Amino acid sequence: MKKRILAIPIIIVTLVFSLTACGVVNDLKAVGDTGKAFMSALETGDNATSWSLLAPNIQDEVGSESAWAEWTSIRNFPKWSFYNTEVNGNSAQMDGTAELDNYEYAVTLIFEKIDEVWLITGINFE
């Protein structure tokens, strides 16, 4: 009888950790998909798509989609990759590199989960 009573909490704890792990894996995939879609849109000059992946506060800061198109016009990286993706609650970050005109840039994208959608809240190319 004591073994059954002990088994129940162990099963419950295992299930909770399993559900939490599934959420983290789903968030990692969603962040990765958003980051890759963003960089692909920059590469192809698809300003509407890259604009739609920005959080509203970043869109407000930029001002308009035409101002965004001007900013992206010199950032059509033909080669890029990410080597790190981290999720911490409703915040995330992707780190990688991008190449343009024989220069390599460090890339950092910052994300926030807004209404269950991962959007970009920060961009850094150095």
Tens of pLDDT, residue by residue over 34-48, are 999 999 999 999 999
Q: Structural domains in the chain? A: 2-125 (3.10.450.50)
Residue among 107, 111, 85 at smallest CA distance from 96: 107
Total residue count of the chain as it appears in this document: 126
Contact 45, 110 (CB under 8 A): no
* Phi, psi of 45, deg, nearest 5: 75, 25
The pLDDT tens digits of the residues spanning 72-110 come to 999 999 999 999 999 999 999 999 999 999 999 999 999
Report pLDDT for 17: 46
CB crowding 87-107: b at 16 or more within 10 Å, else e? beeeebbbebebebeeeeeeb
The pLDDT tens digits of the residues spanning 45-74 come to 999 999 999 999 999 999 999 999 999 999
Q: What's the whole-number average pLDDT of the chain?
A: 87
